[in-house]
Structure 1
Amino acid sequence: MTTDATATDGTTTAGAAGTAARADGLPTLAVYKLASCDGCQLTLLNCEDELLALAGQVRIGYFPEATRAVLPGPYDLALVEGSVTTAADAERVREIRAASRHLVAIGACATAGGIQALRNFADVAEFRAAVYARPEQIDALAGSTPVSDHVKVDFELRGCPVDRGQLLEVVTAFLAGRKPGIPGHSVCFACKRRGTVCVTVAHGTPCLGPVTHAGCGALCPAYGRGCYGCFGPSADAAPDKLIPLLRRDGMDDRAVERFLRTFTAAAFESLRAGGTATGGAREKRASGDARERKRDRRQKQRKEAAS
């Protein structure tokens, strides 16, 4: 990659400098934050032993949460946490994309807009006036949107926060030049694998597990609670099919709406409106491609069976 870009701190990420930084042959990793709580970055830092093992195989080019040292880009792999909520965020994520060979969005904020996307369902100007003494000084976009709504994303890792094992898998996979082995099934499948009794069937507890992307190890149901959907909708999610079951368990329309509007509210809303699991353009293409491949496989199997 030879693209030059300037980071928000004024550092010029020139192609020649990036080549010099990788003279030792090690790939470079950069970790960025937009609008988020830092939870996904902390998940990476909590990998302690694994990070020590990774230290000899990669150079940390940019990671303010871990070190003040900065290597000039471009970088082989950029992890981006957080949603785009301001014009400055939108500009910064374009700079990150230009300075990165691969860009991975990590966490519910970066992949679905996060819990802050609840503002997408209200008047942001009204919020500003109620919260800030000088609302005119607050430069906020009308909505909180995923990274993929603004730039090309090479992979999206769900979760609030992301799963430690999955994060390590994604980092090592990209650095090794292979596709990450991340499952796409729902939390219900994870419950069955770990032998967890269905909280809805056994206790009538409302649960988003049937429509939520797996990755947490079915943590909430394992402790007798319903899933809150923090990993966002699964590939084949149909939340409108789940709503009658939620009503059967005693939830009225307002309670159902509040239940769906938590960590990945914008993603579930997009899906119900005929969109996709994240609302991002890349996710829409990926979902369509996956459906086409699945349909092609079925047609091939039918032809083979007929012959």
Structure 2
Amino acid sequence: MTTTKTKIAVHKLTSCSGCQLAFINQGPGLLSLLEHIEICHFIEVGIDNPECPVDVAFIEGSISTPHDLERIKSVRALSKLVVTVGACATSGGVQALRNLACLYDEPHQLKARVYAAPEHIATLAHSQPVATAINVDFELWGCPVSTEQLLRFLSQLLVGAKPKLEKEKLCMECKRQQNVCVMVTKQALCLGPVIRTGCGAMCPSYGKACYGCYGPSEQPNTRSLANRMQGLGAVDSDIAQRFAQFHGDTPQFRAEIEHWIVHKEEKQ
């Protein structure tokens, strides 16, 4: 009796390719996984067949160029399920920092400050997550996502279970690991109270503040945390920068950036 393998594709838009390594870095585990899946398209490993219909399409990267926007619609049409992987695909990522340029003076000069010949750079006005253009079935947050996170998701999917995605706050993981709170003991500007877990509380476990690579948690109280940071001596720009790093264009974090930078004169 033959078992039909699940056909998957891994597509890359505007990104650093780091999240694709969650597939490659499985080592021997990847060989076991290949008993159950068929990789139809994955440029990173040398398989080039972007027009192949698949059961699951994983997408890394944000929509930052006209070509990205065109490709993503084709991917949706060819895929039964679409899964966004990593910060760029789920929230716009680091490149979405350019979306915040409108909050500052002379935003049109941003491209000229980065590129020697900006007239040759074809980009959209904003860097957007994939879900703004097409329907997305699941989102795996992280910068980058981890191999364990991806394996857990695939395992649940392959047995026919609806994958359970992480939503709770990082502080809960710190408590389970009995980590000493770095905000309390070191007055560190830690984003743990508003960030979803998934990394295993890696930074706090080594005495460092969480800088938010796994994105906003469910119902994050960002204003309360920002006020606490101010109480620890952080100036407005410090607070805004903490929220702007990986997921600054999410509604929750952008609201804090605007509050502490754009409207600081009104606050005063």
What is the TM-score with the length of structure 1 in the denominator? 0.78
Amino acid at match of 1:32: H
Within the candidate set 127, 133, 143, 1:160 is matched to 143
| Candidates 239, 253, 258, aligned match of 1:269 | 253
- Provide the rounded CA distance (Å) in 2 between the counterparts of 1:34 and 1:256: 30
Are 2:195 and 1:219 equivalent residues in the alignment?
no
Partner of 2:193: 210
Quick check: 1:113–1:144 contact (8 Å CA) kept in 2? yes
Distance 1:113 1:69, change over 3 A: closer
The answer on whether the counterparts of 1:61 and 1:72 sit within 8 Å (CA) in structure 2 is no
Residue pair 2:244, 2:254 contacting (<8 A) in 1 also: no
| C-alpha distance in structure 1 between counterparts of 2:125 and 2:49, whole Å | 33
State the alpha-carbon separation in 2 of the partners of residues 196 and 273 from structure 1.
Answer: 29
Partner of 2:169: 186
* Aligned: 1:249 with 2:235: no
Q: Distance in 2 between matches of 1:205 and 1:133?
A: 37
Q: 2:28: which partner in 1? A: 49
Q: C-alpha displacement at 1:254, in angstroms? A: 1.0
Does the 8 A contact of 1:30 with 1:61 survive in 2?
Answer: yes
Q: Does the Cα contact within 8 Å between 2:7 and 2:54 map onto a contact in 1?
A: yes
Give how far 1:177 is off. Answer: 2.5
Secondary structure at 1:39's aligned position in 2?
coil
Identify which range, 227-236 or 259-268, moves more after superposition: 259-268
Per the TM alignment, residue 102 of structure 1 is displaced from its structure 2 partner at its CA by 0.3
Pick one of 57, 63, 67 that aligns with 1:78: 57
* Structure 1 residues 204 and 270: CA distance shift in structure 2, 3 A: closer
**Shift in CA distance, 146/185, structure 1 to aligned 2, threshold 3 Å:** same
- Cα distance change of structure 1 residues 248 and 71 upon mapping to structure 2, 3 Å threshold: closer
Instruction: Choose the corresponding residue for 2:109, options 104, 122, 126.
Output: 126
The 2-side partners of 1:132 and 1:207 are apart by 33
3-state DSSP of counterpart to 1:206: coil
The residue aligned with 2:19 is 40
Between structure 1 and structure 2, the one with the greater Rg is 1
Q: Distance in 2 between matches of 1:183 and 1:58?
A: 24
8 Å CA contact retained: 1:209, 1:227: yes
Letter in 2 for 1:269: F
1:55–1:230 CA distance, 2 compared to 1 (3 A): same
1:57-86 superposed Cα distances (whole Å, 9 cap, x missing partner): 111000011123538521000100011111
CA distance in 1, matches of 2:224, 2:113: 37
Q: Offset of 1:24 from its aligned partner?
A: 6.7
Letter in 2 for 1:70: N
Q: Secondary structure at the match of 2:112?
A: helix
**Maintained 8 Å contact 1:77/1:175:** no
- Structure 2 partner of 1:64: 43
Q: Distance in 2 between matches of 1:126 and 1:203?
A: 38
Query: Percent of counterpart pairs with the same letter?
Result: 41
- Displacement of 1:273 in angstroms is 9.0
Distance 2:75 2:255 in 1: 28
Q: Does 1:103 align with 2:82?
A: yes
